[in-house]
Amino acid sequence: MDHVDDSLRWIPLLPLIAALLSGLWLMFAKGNLPRPVVIVLACGAPILAFAKSLWVVKDLATGFEPGQRYLVDNVYTWISAGDFHAELSFLLDPLSAVMILVVTGVGSLIHIYSVGYMDEDHRDDRGFQRFFVFLNLFTFAMLMLVLGDNLLVMFVGWEGVGVCSYLLIGFWYLEDHNAMCGQKAFVVNRIGDFGFLLGVFLLFWSFSAAGVPTVEFREMALSIGLLEGKTVQLPSWLSFLPGFPVWTLLTLACLCLFLGACGKSAQLPLYVWLPDAMAGPTPVSALIHAATMVTAGVYMVCRMSFAFSLAPGASATVAWVGALTALFAATIGMAQKDIKKVLAYSTVSQLGYMFLAAGVGAYSAAIFHVATHAFFKALLFLGAGSVILGMHHEQNMDRMGGLLRRMPWTGWTCLMGVAAIAGFPFMSGWLSKDEILLSVNLAHDVPGHSALYAIGVLTAGITAFYMGRLWFRVFTGENRADPHTQDQIKEQPSWILFPLVVLAVFSVVAGWGTLPDAYGDQFFGIRESNSLHYFLNHVAHSVHHEVDHSTEFGLATFSTGVAAIGFGLAYLLYYRRKGLEKQIVSAIRPLYRLVYNKYWIDELYQAVIIRPLLAVSDRVLSRVVDAKWIDGFGVNGTARFVVASAERVLKYAQTGLTQSYVFVMLVGGIVLIVYLVGGA
Amino acid sequence: MGEIAGWHFQIVAALLFLLGVLGVLVRRNIIVMFMSIELMLNAANLSLVAFGRELGDSSGQIFAFMVMVVAAVEVAVGLAVIISLVRNRDTVNIEDASLMRW
């Protein structure tokens, strides 16, 4: 029996309607809508969508048995060809439930914040409305992505967030640099998208080989057992090769999908677009980093967990790429001066954690971290935006300091975010990160799991260090800005402070619904069976480890200790003894330069890939292939051939003499009659 | 003189049609060509009527009326073309109307 709920479609539709109303007005009317109308449309849509999401998720959680929790909304049949069908339909299950709550909830707060933030922008008088059109469109695309019932609908959202990120990152397009950053994000994402598409095709191929041509998640998950022992039929022109097992194809498909996830979620080696995405307005960074785009890759891997859990090779790759990205980005974060860049690398690093979790089969832990990360990272970005506004568009931490006195709300809320990401006990980030580390520690079947665990714990320490560094440098000590700016620093209006406060509260408490029994049952009487894991377990095929409470305590204490050391170091270097930092930096100058310059990865790409590519494009593809072969031989050659042959031969067909036409007609008629009569 | 059979009509029709074809192909005077076309149409009509009578099916005759209507229309259009040709070129020779050529 299908669980149908026809109102699911309103969740993505509401932001789309708002974007269309506002956007079409912008396109066809001369002026802007009045600001209050823009604000109501822009913030109202995600807030309503959030209310609707709460409503349906409540229905989902209370109305069904744990294994049966899903709601489907079939809007219409999108593609129907042969035995292949794809519906435009939405699926609400525990996994997408968590995601829509995060996307609409955190998204709404970011919309509200943006009202305050973009008010300052006087660069473009239509910018205010344009910004909210894009923002709503982004929300719509992300909701399509998470609610899609099959890979194709998901892909629509997947591409949608790509386009919107391009539009938003390059939002201040009058400066070339910003437009370039938008392009970079778009182009790097195309590489990932190519992988994603290949993955979809390969998956479809493997399922077709098993006799179930489908791209629908539930159907794929239910019928994946059929793939066992099947071999793939190669096309006839390749039939001299032996067929190979579908399992191999599945692993390949998972790797391709993961390449897509790497692009969207900024993992090695495709992370390079994300730090540059800081060119967009700060609320955009918050939205992209916290609630939407970058979590799409993690979500997709978790959504496809039924395939990944059967492809151990692909899963191990996911885990290792995630762990290395986490460590790699965290080390870069230690040396950055731009406050938003620190946060950007921190996002890359945290996403690495999520993939690490997904790679060891702890999908629910990955989604848990997605959710908590959405709160504290949104908080940190919005806080950074507030600081940037307060400092008159200064982003360099070298020229900040002592802001806690002038901007106490921003400062204290940011401290909540820092505590959450750094792993202060019982904060949301601590719970989700420890959950991941615990799963990694127990994942004995993943190659090198103890190395993965070590990397995870080390990264936790580094994270605490650079977040501490950020907070101490921005909010404590003396202000290092020029006197003129110093006089003008003041707290931001409540449009901006309200989301900060809400997010700060959630950064603290967001994890409390998922306390593991080790603390939950013991201290608060909350059983794990009520928790998010349990809610997610039936969808994401998470590996569940039985673990005794003392091990759990021990591991948590250990990682918390490492994080505390990191934070303590930051406190020492940036609060207690500020001279020490300079000594250390000068002692390890080459290493520092390496990290500060982000390991020269961008430069490496430039030299190894981009420059040769440009050279080949210019010298070979443009001048030879395009100019000579395609244009010269293909297009112009065809035209010349047609003109020449018509001139020489075909012109005799056109005598202008009526009677020769009649004669030809007559002959033709006779031939036709002979053919028809003779043929019959 | 024996009975006039169906195939007699068909032979007359075929001869008439051939005459028409020859006229169109050979003559240069556009009015004569026109008359030759009429000859072909009437050959077809004769054939239709003869078949209709022989098979006891009235649709042959009805088609003949149809052809007459089409012929009338064709004459109306054709004469207009001929008149404008004469006005512009002062000729009824079809070979003088060979402007549309290489």
Token code pair at residue A515: 């306390």
Residue A107 or A476, more confident: A107
In chain A, which residues have their Cβ closer than 8 Å to the Cβ of B97? 656, 658
Cα–Cα dist A41/A619, whole Å = 51
The CA distance from B2 to the nearest CA of chain A, in Å, is 32
Ranges of chain B with pLDDT below 70: 1-2, 100, 102
In chain B, which residues have their Cβ closer than 8 Å to the Cβ of A656? 97-101
Cα–Cα dist A284/A161, whole Å = 12
Least confident among A95-109, A400-414, A571-585 = A571-585
In chain B, which residues have their Cβ closer than 8 Å to the Cβ of A666? 21, 25
Question: B38-61: per-residue pLDDT in tens?
Answer: 999 999 999 999 998 888 888 988
Token code pair at residue B60: 């042959």
Question: Is 80 exceeded by the pLDDT of residue A523?
Answer: no
Token code pair at residue A19: 């974007």
For residue A122, what pLDDT is reported? Answer: 58
The answer to whether A490 and A390 have CB atoms below 8 angstroms apart is yes
Average pLDDT on A665-675 reads: 92
Looking at the partner chain, which of B21, B24, B98 has a beta carbon nearest the beta carbon of A657? B98
Cα–Cα dist A634/A40, whole Å = 55
Question: A223-245: per-residue pLDDT in tens?
Answer: 888 877 777 777 777 777 777 77
Among A314, A300, A309, which residue's Cα sits nearest to residue A254? A314
* Rounded alpha-carbon distances, angstroms, from residue A590 to A582, A587, A593, A599, A602: 14, 9, 5, 11, 18
The answer to whether A343 and A476 have CB atoms below 8 angstroms apart is no
Q: Please judge whether B102 and A651 are an interchain contact, meaning their C-beta atoms are less than 8 angstroms apart.
A: yes
Q: What is the DSSP string of A282-327?
A: HHHHHIIIIISTTHHHHHHHHHTHHHHTT-HHHHHHHHHHHHHHHH
Q: Please judge whether A659 and B101 are an interchain contact, meaning their C-beta atoms are less than 8 angstroms apart.
A: no
**Minimal-distance CA residue of chain A relative to B94:** A658
The answer to whether A270 and A209 have CB atoms below 8 angstroms apart is no
In chain A, which residues have their Cβ closer than 8 Å to the Cβ of B99? 656
Q: Please judge whether A657 and B99 are an interchain contact, meaning their C-beta atoms are less than 8 angstroms apart.
A: no
The CA distance from A650 to the nearest CA of chain B, in Å, is 10
Looking at the partner chain, which of A654, A658, A666 has a beta carbon nearest the beta carbon of B102? A654
Residues near B73 by Cβ (< 8 Å), separated by ≥ 6? none
Question: Is 90 exceeded by the pLDDT of residue A517?
Answer: no
CB neighbourhood size of A33 (10 A): 18
For residue A1, what pLDDT is reported? Answer: 47
The answer to whether A80 and A152 have CB atoms below 8 angstroms apart is no
Q: Please judge whether B94 and A663 are an interchain contact, meaning their C-beta atoms are less than 8 angstroms apart.
A: no
The answer to whether A378 and A106 have CB atoms below 8 angstroms apart is yes
Q: Please judge whether A659 and B102 are an interchain contact, meaning their C-beta atoms are less than 8 angstroms apart.
A: no
**Minimal-distance CA residue of chain B relative to A647:** B102
Residues near A87 by Cβ (< 8 Å), separated by ≥ 6? A74, A75, A76, A77, A78, A149, A150, A216
Question: A467-503: per-residue pLDDT in tens?
Answer: 988 888 888 877 777 777 777 777 778 888 888 898 8
Question: A58-83: per-residue pLDDT in tens?
Answer: 888 777 777 778 888 888 888 888 77
For residue A601, what pLDDT is reported? Answer: 75
Model pTM?
Answer: 0.77
Question: A601-624: per-residue pLDDT in tens?
Answer: 777 777 777 788 888 888 888 888
The answer to whether A332 and A469 have CB atoms below 8 angstroms apart is no
The CA distance from A165 to the nearest CA of chain B, in Å, is 59
Q: Please judge whether B94 and A656 are an interchain contact, meaning their C-beta atoms are less than 8 angstroms apart.
A: no
Which of B18, B19, B24 to probe the A interface (max A CBs under 10 A)? B24
The CA distance from A174 to the nearest CA of chain B, in Å, is 56
Cα–Cα dist B25/B19, whole Å = 10
Task: Give CB contacts under 8 A, 24+ apart, made by A76-84.
Answer: A78/A152, A78/A153, A79/A152, A83/A213, A84/A213, A84/A214
- Which SS3 state, helix, strand or coil, does residue A14 take? helix
Among A307, A324, A325, which residue's Cα sits nearest to residue A361? A307
Token code pair at residue A592: 């520092």
Average pLDDT on A17-37 reads: 85
Token code pair at residue A99: 């995601």
First CA to last CA distance, chain B = 57
- Which SS3 state, helix, strand or coil, does residue A266 take? coil
The answer to whether A409 and A497 have CB atoms below 8 angstroms apart is yes
The CA distance from B62 to the nearest CA of chain A, in Å, is 24
Cα–Cα dist A191/A609, whole Å = 13
